[in-house]
Structure 1
Amino acid sequence: MSEQLSIEQDGRVLRITFNRPQDNGVTDAMAEAFSDAILNAHKTSDCVVLRSTGPDFCTGRARDPGSPAPNPEAYARRPEYDAIFNSYKAIRNAQVPVIAAIEGRAMGFGTAIAALCDVSFASDAATFNIPEIAHNVMPTMVMSALYDRVNRNAILWMAYSTDFIDAERAMAYGLVSHVVPADKLDAELERFCELLLSRPRPAILGLKEYLHVAPRMDELGAIDYARALHSMVNTAAAMKRKH
């Protein structure tokens, strides 16, 4: 697994790299390890940076040689998808921000991960698609990641057509946060990480917590939750530090 998924502690940044350049796919075992690392990142880190080796960010799911064939019975097969669904949940539930840098193609699972991350930087040469239906696979796994990130018309157009979109359209759809010239992607990513690490930790954690929970509340609940977090976070000792 260490060969296919690199996890490196770099100061207060946890760097996770998909390292399967032969096909740029992510296996279920990689997804499980990725989920575990992200859910525990707050113990050592203030943010997670997700990247990939090779020419593409991620071309979708991959099966390792020798892995068992899918169960032919639907009910028995359902848990076989948990590694992917749980990786989506891990990004949503992570206590620290997850930041992605996307180069090349992001397909299926790659598109889902790009959208789920809290901040996603895309190279201006990056492209995105949802290819499943062209392979006679209903793309509901990806849809479960995008349903609250991308507008309905955009999701359905991407899913039905399977066409690639460029990085600027991906940003317009809400898949990524920022598009950067390819030769400046590394510098912009590191600049943002340094900026994030300079912010008070309680505010960083509180922002992610609020945006994870509040959209599922009614108006009164969301306002009351904001009041409570505002009071709690802004009285934290770390918020009093002078920079």
Structure 2
Amino acid sequence: MHPHLLIEAQDRLLRITLNRTEDNGVSDSMASALSQLLLTAHERADAVLLRSAGPDFCTGRVRDAGTTPPTAEAYLRRDEYDGIFGSYQAMRGAKVPIVGVIEGRCMGFGAAIAALCDVSFAADSARFNIPEIGHNVMPTMVMSALYDRMNRNAVLWMAYSADFIAAERALAYGLVSQVVPAAQLDAEVERFLGLLLSRPRPALLGLKEYLRVAPRMDEQGAIDYARSLHSMVNTASAMKKKAH
């Protein structure tokens, strides 16, 4: 596994920690390794916890050390970005829910994966931005992750301004699920994980599956899909067990 990813399997929880502590960036190879972990997480876990060794959640995408300079040929250069785009697809396609914990700065790629988490907790001291345009880079990579997570005005304001926003505004924009005082963050995350993992596995997977697929359907298709999943999940033997 990648040296900048810490992996801990704890019962039915897979803990993944971004561990590039020299700059808190995420390299292309890290993103590719993360994709593989997420796409196979259901084989050994009911949920994933994604956080960073800090102090920042993620300061953006960085190039791997020792890689060759990017080619000037646009057609050939497209493959260079597959690791990043693939990680977005893996977060959407992972069968189990992904819970994110955001502390410190959450920039660019960090903002993208924070938004793609299924449930996310931000410390009240966390800050978010999309800095690319300040470096004369159009942030369409990030926007491909955010376009269905945030409203249009919020995405464009962040993309054009590159300004940092506070955690409470990130909550209002739809980037995160909850904002928690920093001193209470770990306790609240663990409380939620205990609650989440007490739920029947078919329901955990079925909820994510429905929200991954239904928004792309027309109204009748979404209703019919809900009827089908409702019947399948709620008749599963695991749903008949009494909650503790």
TM-score (norm 2): 0.98
Structure 1, residues 177-211: CA drift from partner, whole Å, max 9, x if none?
A: 00000011111111111101100110110000000
Give the partner amino acid of 1:148: D
Unaligned runs of 5+ in 1: none
Q: Residue 163 of structure 2: SS of its match in structure 1?
A: coil
State the distance in 2 between where 1:156 and 1:170 align.
14
Q: Structure 2: which 5+ residue stretches go unaligned?
A: none
1:194 equivalent in alignment to 2:194: yes
Residue 54 of structure 2 contacts residue 103 of structure 2 at CA under 8 Å; is this kept in 1?
A: no
Alignment correspondent of 2:41: 41
Q: Percent identity?
A: 72
Distance 2:22 2:141 in 1: 24
Does structure 1 conserve the Cα–Cα contact (< 8 Å) formed by 2:114 and 2:120? yes
Aligned counterparts of 1:56 and 1:238: Cα–Cα separation in 2: 39
Distance 1:37 1:67 in 2: 23
**CA drift at 1:59:** 0.2
Question: Aligned partner of 2:156: which letter?
Answer: L
Matched, 1:21 2:21: yes
Verify the 8 A CA contact 2:2 2:33 in the aligned structure 1: no
1:63 partner letter: R
- For 1:31, give the aligned amino acid: A
The Cα RMSD (Å) is 0.7
1:121 shift after superposition? 0.3
Structure 1 residue ranges (4+ consecutive) displaced by more than 6 angstroms after TM superposition: none
1:210-225 → structure 2 map (5 Å cutoff)? 210-225=210-225
Q: What does residue 68 of structure 1 align with?
A: 68
d(CA) in 2 for partners of 1:62, 1:76: 19
Matches within 5 A, 1:90-129: 90-129=90-129
Indicate the residue corresponding to 2:81 in structure 1.
81
Q: Which amino acid aligns with 2:78?
A: R
- Report if aligned partners of 2:102, 2:126 keep a CA contact under 8 Å in 1: yes
Distance 1:240 1:99 in 2: 26
Give the C-alpha shift of residue 50 in structure 1: 0.3
- Residue identity opposite 1:152 in structure 2: R
Quote the residue 1:58 is aligned against: 58
For the residues of structure 2 that align with 1:11 and 1:2, how far apart are their CA atoms? 22
Equivalent-residue separation in structure 1 for 2:223 and 2:123 (angstroms): 37
